[in-house]
């Protein structure tokens, strides 16, 4: 059942006495006008997939003058109205052939839109794959860890459209995570003032693998998508290099392990990569494409931690950061 007819008259559009329930939660909320029979059909490729649009039809009681139809759209509309002009007086409901034609029109439209969105999605994935290959080629040219870290930060930030990128390397001998300072934003944490940096020496910090999201990511080898770092009890200001005070605590974070292949079937975790504060995409077309291709009828649960969701009373009116997608998480997976 793909439609629901209101004011069916003597019978419903299936020729039975029982009217099927509507596929929309509130049919009265749709902009239906007119006193005649009304039908609302979703533009949907399959049942369970996102509803792209809704086609609404109101049966007109006015008589129309027959004119020759030339275009394909006019021929389809003329075919829908044939049953209404068959008798001396137009019926007050839509016939089975009219409903079937409307369903075919919606199914064809949804199929065309689905093909177009898949084509655009394939182009986006191809562009992303080329970017990943260019990043891998340039990163492999790094001569030391410092050069490697700078290359990763410079190349990964525009790929994910994030404000900050942080790398933590694992020291197998000391069982610690080694990282460098991200800048002045982490200069003071929880009232502790760091010592003044020494000219010519890198500010290297060590943190136990039992602290923060970076430690959990290293121990479990999983990807953590934190929607709001302030709401997660596992985030550590020192180990994760973030500031939980004020506006800085409302940003999101995506952390995943950096895995190195040392043999054909042997892998080892060498560190953790953090992506902080994903910005809104500048391209409105990309936002529309993502919303149409990925948003289901009932949005699934995210892979982020349950405790990272803020309470409704503390949720801001507008989400400050663009959420990380499943494609972003796949970057850390093989």
pLDDT tens string 183-214? 443 443 334 444 454 444 567 889 998 999 99
Range(s) for CATH 3.30.450 in the chain? 158-187+201-330
Which residue, among 120, 88, 84, 99, has the nearest Cα to 20 in the 3D structure? 99
Q: Are 324 and 254 in contact (CB under 8 A)?
A: yes
Task: Please tell me the CATH code under which domain 158-187+201-330 is placed.
Answer: 3.30.450
Q: How far apart are CA 251 and CA 245, in angstroms?
A: 11
**pTM value?**
0.54
Q: Is the pLDDT of residue 248 over 70?
A: yes
Q: How confident is the model at residue 181 (pLDDT cuts 50, 70, 90)?
A: low
Higher pLDDT, 50 or 66: 50
Cβ neighbour number for residue 309 with a 10 Å cutoff:
14
pLDDT at 262 (0 to 100): 79
Q: How far apart are CA 309 and CA 230, in angstroms?
A: 10
pLDDT tens digits for range 32-61: 555 666 777 888 877 777 777 778 777 766
| Helix or strand run (H / E) with residue 135 | helix 96-139
pLDDT at 32 (0 to 100): 59
């Amino acid at each position: 059942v793909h439609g629901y007819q209101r004011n069916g008259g003597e019978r419903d559009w299936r020729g039975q006495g029982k009217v099927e329930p509507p596929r929309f939660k509130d049919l009265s909320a749709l902009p239906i006008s007119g006193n005649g029979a009304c039908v609302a059909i979703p533009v949907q490729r399959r049942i369970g997939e996102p509803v792209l649009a809704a086609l609404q039809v109101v049966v007109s009681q006015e008589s129309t003058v027959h004119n020759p139809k030339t275009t394909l759209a006019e021929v389809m509309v003329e075919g829908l109205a044939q049953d209404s002009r068959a008798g001396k007086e137009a019926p007050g409901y839509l016939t089975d052939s009219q409903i079937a034609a409307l369903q075919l029109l919606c199914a064809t439209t949804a199929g065309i839109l689905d093909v177009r969105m898949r084509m655009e999605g394939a182009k986006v994935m191809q562009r992303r794959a080329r970017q990943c290959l260019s990043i891998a080629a340039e990163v492999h040219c790094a001569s030391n860890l410092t050069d490697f870290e700078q290359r990763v930060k410079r190349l990964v930030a525009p790929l994910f459209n994030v404000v900050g990128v942080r790398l933590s390397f694992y020291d197998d001998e000391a069982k610690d995570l080694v990282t460098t300072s991200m800048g002045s934003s982490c200069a003071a944490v929880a009232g502790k003032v760091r010592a003044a940096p020494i000219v010519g020496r890198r500010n290297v910090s060590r943190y136990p693998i039992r602290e923060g999201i970076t430690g959990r990511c290293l121990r479990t080898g999983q990807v953590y998508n934190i929607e709001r770092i302030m709401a997660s009890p596992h985030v550590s200001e020192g180990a994760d290099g973030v500031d939980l005070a004020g506006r800085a605590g409302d940003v999101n974070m995506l952390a995943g392990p950096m895995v190195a292949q040392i043999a054909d079937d042997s892998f080892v975790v060498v560190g953790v990569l953090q992506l902080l504060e994903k910005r809104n995409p500048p391209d409105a077309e990309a936002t529309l494409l993502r919303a149409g291709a990925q948003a289901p009828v009932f949005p699934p649960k995210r892979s982020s931690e349950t405790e990272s969701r803020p309470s409704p009373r503390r949720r801001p009116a507008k989400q400050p950061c663009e959420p990380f997608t499943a494609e972003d998480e796949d970057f850390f997976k093989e």
